[in-house]
Amino acid sequence: MSIALHLALIALLLALAFWTVVARETFAAVAGFVSYGLLLTLAWVALSAVDVALTEAAIGAGLTGALLIGATSRLRKTEAAARAERPGRATRVLAAIVATAVAAAIAACVLLLPDPGPSLAPEVAQNLASTGVGNPITAVLMSFRAMDTMLEAIVLLFGLIGIWSLASDRYWGGRPGLAPVVEPNGILAYLARVLPPIGLVVGIYILWVGADYPGGKFQGGTVLAAMWLLLLMSGLHDAPAVSQRWVRLALVAGPAVFILVGVLGVFVAGAFLGYPEGLAKPLIIVIEVALLPSLAVTLTLLLMGPPQRSESSP
């Protein structure tokens, strides 16, 4: 892309970001944010970060957008009251000044970064072969810095435990989210019948290519989660009760397999999260395959919120 295109992209990004901050209606702001998120994927691509672009599109724009839109519609009633709490002019001016100062400092730092920037790319390239995977990012995520990835899966789980712990006591063990309204002939139901099979294939494909090309479990898991969400929203399928054993098993299977493979590494490769010579790629794929459903279930349930209905409710 040429500089002109970059400039146009940046201008559009800034305009949407500005709109997100100043919009009066929360809904308008969220809409602005979702389109901003989609545009941002272009920025990642422009910066040669295709894996990140996929993640951003799936999670940053997609799931976060869905989350915020859902919350906006639920919280619409509170908007008027909240506007009254808006801080006075002096506060806003002060806020603008300090925010500008921080932004200026960051901008200065960006300009002052060393050129050429330090990079671990050569080291990654050097050691890529021993991991067996072709995508350097997957190598970083699953081998060099596998600890971070394992912790990330655990972070999601902690988030979910946190959300569940907010449930009201009487609904504990019940189903999350509001009872779905079934409209068998609606457009949603139609989509929900058509898309999931395709989505399933796409999700697994993204996971599969992730070893060598952009893609991976997070992106794939998000696609699967989106398909399940579609089913839930259309009413064709009801959310499972949080007390069900299979839900819990599905949630922890991925991280558990990750830990077990890591422990296996202690015995066969001499280090926790190490892979023995030649078996690196299969083991990485085992972990990714185990993580995919866990991530899909976790992401879906994160979006659904705490249990809000008893298990027996329709």
Instruction: Show contacts with other proteins in window 188-247 (CB under 8 A).
Output: 216, 218, 243, 245
- Residue with Cβ nearer other proteins (99 or 194): 99
The answer to whether the peptide bond before residue 122 is cis (omega within 30 degrees of 0) is no
Please, which of residues 140-199 interact with other proteins by CB under 8 A? Answer: 140-141, 143-149, 151-152, 154-159, 161-169, 172-173
CB of 93 to other proteins, least distance (A): 9
Binding map of other proteins across residues 262-291, x = CB under 8 A, - = no contact: x--xx--xxxxxxx----------------
Task: Answer whether 279's CB lies under 8 Å from 242's CB.
Answer: no
8 belongs to the binding site for other proteins (CB under 8 A)? no
SS3 content of the chain, % helix, strand, coil (to 5): 75, 0, 25
Sign of CA pseudo-dihedral 86, 63, 194, 176: negative
Q: Which residues contact 210 (CB under 8 A, 6 or more apart)?
A: 135, 138, 216, 217, 219, 220, 288
Residues 171/309, Cβ–Cβ less than 8 Å: yes
Task: Give strand pairing partners of 175.
Answer: 309
| Least distance CB 197 / other proteins (angstroms) | 26
Task: Tell which positions 44-103 bind other proteins, by CB under 8 A.
Answer: 44, 46-49, 51-52, 55-56, 59-60, 63-64, 67-68, 70-72, 74-75, 77-79, 81-83, 85-88, 90-92, 94-96, 98-103
Q: Nearest distance from residue 144's CB to other proteins, in Å?
A: 5
Q: Which is nearer to other proteins, 26 or 234 (CB)?
A: 26
Determine the Cα–Cα distance for residues 213 and 206; give it in Å rounded to an integer.
Answer: 9
- Select the residue interacting with other proteins from 8, 105, 129, 194 (CB under 8 A): 105
Least distance between other proteins and beta carbon 168 (Å): 7
CB contact set of 98 (below 8 Å; sequence gap of 6+): none
One of 37, 132, 196, 240 touching other proteins (CB under 8 A): 37
* Direct distance between the N- and C-terminal alpha carbons of the chain, in angstroms, rounded to an integer: 52
Helix boundaries (H) for the chain: 3-22, 26-46, 50-55, 64-74, 79-84, 89-112, 121-131, 136-139, 146-164, 187-209, 217-234, 245-268, 280-304
- Find the binding residues for other proteins in span 293-312 (CB under 8 A): 299, 302-303, 305-306
Question: 112-131: which residues touch other proteins (CB under 8 A)?
Answer: 112-125, 127
Shortest distance (Å) from residue 7 CB to other proteins: 7
Write down the least CB distance from residue 3 to other proteins, Å.
7
**How near is the Cβ of 179 to other proteins at its closest, in Å?**
15
57, two tokens: 């599109």
